């Protein structure tokens, strides 16, 4: 009787582990696990106070797989520890207080080491995309002026505030438009890359 109960407990534990770690996507000869979807969901919950649904997160993980695979093939350098720590500190400072950060961290269920690892991974991917696409992004000076007039000035007046001078805002607008261009280039590249890969989505099938 006792042996039967123990076997049932072991089977239940193994079933639970399989549920957590079941395969939700296959990309070429690699896989993405449900636990990876859950981890990114918790990180989004920590950073943004909400997370995307599982399908959206899986889509992000597939994109991240493409970026990471190319970056590793190119032997792109990992971010320095100091840069990772700066990224973590930036995340902490996005909260109103250290107490709010700790409370959100507790809700997410992420440990400090997991947060640091996720931060390092996001920084690595972002740095690679910046390095790959920034040189090809050209921003027309007129686009900077237009954004200042139609974006910065209009937004400031809507709030009853005095807008910054164009000279004071120029550098920030320039960088914003460059980042926008990098995102657009990266999106096009990712769509093209996906079309050449064998990607099998198993999220809704429950296939192990």
* Tens digit of pLDDT at every position of the chain (208 positions): 544 444 444 444 444 444 457 999 999 999 999 999 999 999 999 999 999 999 999 999 999 999 999 999 999 999 999 999 999 999 999 999 999 999 999 999 999 999 999 999 999 999 999 999 999 999 999 999 999 999 999 999 999 999 999 999 999 999 999 999 999 999 999 999 999 999 999 987 554 4
CATH of segment(s) 17-201: 1.10.4030.10
Residue 21: predicted pLDDT: 77
189 DSSP 8-state letter:
H
Residue 121: predicted pLDDT: 97
153/11 Cα distance (integer angstroms):
64
> Which helix (H) or strand (E) is 24 found in, with range?
strand 23-27
- Taking a C-beta distance cutoff of 8 angstroms, is the pair 71, 37 a contact? no
Residue 203: predicted pLDDT: 87
Query: What number of CA atoms fall less than 13 Å from residue 19's CA on the CB side?
Result: 6
- Taking a C-beta distance cutoff of 8 angstroms, is the pair 59, 25 a contact? no
- Taking a C-beta distance cutoff of 8 angstroms, is the pair 199, 25 a contact? yes
Q: Looking at the whole model, is its pTM more than 0.85? A: no
Nearest alpha carbon to residue 130 among 82, 67, 73:
67
Residue 58: predicted pLDDT: 97
Query: What is the chain's Cα-based Rg?
Result: 22
Residue 20: predicted pLDDT: 55
Pair of tokens at residue 204: 């809704």
């Amino acid at each position: 009787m006792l042996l039967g109960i123990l076997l049932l407990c072991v089977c239940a534990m193994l079933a639970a582990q399989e549920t957590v770690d079941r395969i939700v996507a296959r990309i070429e000869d690699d896989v993405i696990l449900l636990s990876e979807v859950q981890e990114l969901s918790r990180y989004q919950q920590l950073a943004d106070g909400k997370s995307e649904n599982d399908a959206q997160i899986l889509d992000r993980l597939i994109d991240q797989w493409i970026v990471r695979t190319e970056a590793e093939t190119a032997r792109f350098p990992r971010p320095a520890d100091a840069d990772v720590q700066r990224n973590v500190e930036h995340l902490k400072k996005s909260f109103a207080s250290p107490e709010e950060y700790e409370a959100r961290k507790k809700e997410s269920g992420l440990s400090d080491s997991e947060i640091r690892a996720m931060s390092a991974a996001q920084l690595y991917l972002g740095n690679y995309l910046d390095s790959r696409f920034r040189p090809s992004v050209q921003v027309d000076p007129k686009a900077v002026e237009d954004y200042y007039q139609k974006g910065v000035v209009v937004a400031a007046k809507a709030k009853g505030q005095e807008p910054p001078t164009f000279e004071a805002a120029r550098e920030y607008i320039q960088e914003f438009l460059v980042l926008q261009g990098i995102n657009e280039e990266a999106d096009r590249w990712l769509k093209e890359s996906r079309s050449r890969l064998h990607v099998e989505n198993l999220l809704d099938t429950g296939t192990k």
